[in-house]
């Protein structure tokens, strides 16, 4: 514990600095559902990464459609629950939804059961990308906010990696145990002080800050934390009740929404629907089939681990641009080796290395649309805007999975890879020059960078 000495009225008093370890620990616990989702993703025809770990036997991807549509439709439900009943209640509903989605895994496999599995898993995915990032963002200090949010990337990819060391039966029982742990862990998590200020429960907010930051009730830093939240709420409500029209008339929130839309769009069309299918990407060099997708899973997990280790030291936009540039360069190499009627007799290792680097780059940045979006919104509008962005992301993902095969048949795989490379190049450049500095910044400091003169004044 660090103490500072303040002098007031001739008296000296010790003022303890706020602690951050509880926020990081609670974030790790709160992101456990991502690990459960990672385990479950290994049996799905689609995933939160918009890729395929199991190849669908259908020409029309109805399994993926059920997954995406269920996620989109359940998003408004999570919004209502999280905003009305609290962030912890949202995490509770998410864990219940994950528990229900595990039931089809214990039933006899069949076409109907597969559709039900994808639909139920989709309902829980909305909670993963709305409830968890919101809670984690609100309980952490600016210094550890990015690190804590990156846990969701680590949990998801490590869960996918378990496919290499566990059989399905063991993973099923592990998922059931994890869901029980998730529900029990809610007993020790603290409600977000931001939510309590939002619903005008100031006394409860003060109590939660005291416990979360390990501060005495009369500590000056506790009062500063509480005043900062109240100021944030006041600035959001300065023009009265917040409505959707008012949100989009606000220059700061509209600029933040532009960033969120561009990030989700470029990530949806980054090419993961192709390169996460290892056999299809490397079919020109005729390697032996790898049903376990070892290369993909290891590279994806390695990229996420790298993000967790460097998140506290590197600005978000620089890390995002680095991941995108890796993807662009490796896609350029892969495109050469996937040309039609090309017989690869030399440098057969090069496309394999390029694919590993490509997935590593994707592993670095696949979670950044959610991480950056949740950090740049005021907590008064955070949940509704995260819901709208998630709903939009599912719509474009649905469009992508239904049109992808037709476009590929028309232009070919190698041309498609060049198109994906161009999208990733744009995403990297956009992120580097448009996204504000977020690392170690308070919301007010971030908003100062977002307030730009609009092209069209509404």
Class of the CATH domain delimited by 21-189+242-450: mainly alpha
List helix spans (H) across 200-315: 202-212, 220-236, 244-249, 251-268, 272-275, 278-281, 294-310
- Enumerate residues 6+ apart whose C-beta is below 8 A from 27: 136, 139, 140, 148, 149, 151
**Ramachandran angles phi, psi of 228, nearest 5°:** -65, -40
Sequence spans of domains, the chain: 21-189+242-450
Query: Residue 388: pLDDT above 90?
Result: yes
The answer to whether the CB of 394 falls within 8 A of the CB of 66 is: no
The pLDDT, as a whole number, for residue 273 is 84
> Which of 331 and 288 is assigned the larger pLDDT?
331
- Low-confidence winner among 34-48, 67-81, 109-123 (lowest mean pLDDT): 34-48
Distance CA 259, CA 30 (A): 26
**pTM attached to this predicted model:** 0.90
- Average confidence (pLDDT) over 165-177: 86
Cα 372 versus chain centre, distance: 9
Instruction: Read off the pLDDT of residues 307-365 as tens digits, 9 standing for 90 and up.
Output: 999 999 999 999 999 999 999 999 988 888 777 565 656 667 788 889 999 999 999 99
The pLDDT, as a whole number, for residue 47 is 64
**Position of tokens 């090419």?**
271
Other residues' Cβ atoms within 10 Å of the Cβ of residue 257:
21
Query: Residue 76: pLDDT above 70?
Result: yes
Residues shown for the chain:
458
Between the alpha carbon of residue 55 and those of residues 28, 103, 162, 193, 443, the distances in Å are: 32, 22, 18, 44, 43
% of the chain with per-residue pLDDT over 90: 48
Largest CA distance in the chain: 86
Q: Quote the crossing angle between the two packed helices 413-434 and 251-268, to the nearest 10°.
A: 160
% of the chain with per-residue pLDDT over 70: 88
- Average confidence (pLDDT) over 105-119: 82
Q: What is the CA radius of gyration of the chain?
A: 23
The pLDDT, as a whole number, for residue 1 is 45
pLDDT band at residue 79 using 50, 70 and 90 as cut-offs? very high
- Average confidence (pLDDT) over 159-183: 88
Distance CA 140, CA 440 (A): 11
**Ramachandran angles phi, psi of 13, nearest 5°:** -135, 145
Query: Mean pLDDT score of the chain, rounded to an integer?
Result: 85
Q: What are the residues facing 11 on neighbouring strands?
A: 8
Which of 260, 217, 226, 219 shows the shortest CA–CA distance to 381? 260
């Amino acid at each position: 514990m660090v103490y500072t000495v303040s002098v007031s009225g001739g008296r000296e008093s010790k003022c303890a600095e706020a602690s951050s370890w509880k926020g990081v620990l609670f974030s790790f616990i709160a992101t456990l559902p991502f690990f459960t989702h990672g385990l479950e993703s290994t049996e799905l025809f689609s995933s939160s990464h918009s890729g395929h770990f199991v190849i669908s036997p259908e020409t029309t991807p109805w399994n993926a459609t059920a997954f995406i549509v269920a996620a989109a439709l359940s998003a408004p439900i999570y919004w209502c629950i999280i905003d009305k009943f609290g962030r912890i209640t949202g995490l509770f509903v998410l864990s219940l939804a994950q528990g229900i989605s595990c039931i089809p895994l214990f039933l006899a496999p069949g076409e109907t059961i597969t559709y039900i599995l994808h639909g139920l898993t989709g309902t829980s995915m909305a909670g993963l990308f709305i409830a968890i990032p919101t809670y984690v963002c609100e309980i952490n200090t600016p210094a550890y906010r990015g690190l804590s949010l990156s846990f969701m990337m680590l949990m998801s990819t490590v869960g996918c990696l378990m496919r290499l060391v566990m059989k399905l039966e063991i993973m099923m029982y592990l998922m059931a145990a994890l869901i029980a742990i998730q529900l029990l862990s809610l007993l020790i998590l603290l409600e977000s002080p931001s939510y309590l200020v939002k619903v005008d429960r100031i006394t409860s907010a003060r109590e939660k800050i005291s416990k979360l930051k390990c501060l005495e009730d009369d500590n000056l830093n506790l009062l500063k934390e509480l005043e900062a939240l109240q100021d944030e709420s006041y600035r959001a409500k300065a023009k009265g009740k917040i409505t959707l029209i008012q949100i989009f008339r606000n220059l700061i929130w509209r600029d933040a929404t532009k960033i969120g839309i561009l990030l989700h769009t470029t990530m949806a069309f980054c090419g993961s629907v192709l390169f996460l299918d290892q056999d299809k990407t490397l079919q020109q060099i005729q390697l032996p089939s790898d049903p376990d997708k070892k290369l993909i899973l290891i590279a994806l997990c390695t990229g996420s681990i790298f993000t967790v280790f460097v998140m506290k030291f590197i600005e978000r936009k620089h890390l995002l641009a680095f991941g995108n540039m890796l993807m662009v360069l490796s896609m350029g190499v892969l495109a050469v080796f996937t040309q039609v009627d090309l017989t690869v007799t030399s440098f057969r290792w090069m496309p394999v290395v390029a694919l590993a680097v490509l997935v590593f780059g994707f592993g670095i940045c696949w979670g950044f649309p959610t991480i950056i979006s949740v950090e740049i919104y005021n907590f008064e509008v955070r949940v509704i805007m995260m819901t709208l962005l998630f709903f939009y992301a599912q719509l474009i993902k649905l469009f992508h999975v239904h049109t992808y095969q037709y476009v590929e048949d028309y232009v070919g795989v190698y041309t498609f890879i060049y198109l994906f490379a161009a999208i990733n190049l744009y995403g990297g450049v956009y992120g580097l020059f448009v996204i504000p500095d977020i690392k170690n910044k308070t919301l007010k400091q971030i908003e100062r960078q977002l307030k730009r003169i609009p092209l069209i004044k509404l």
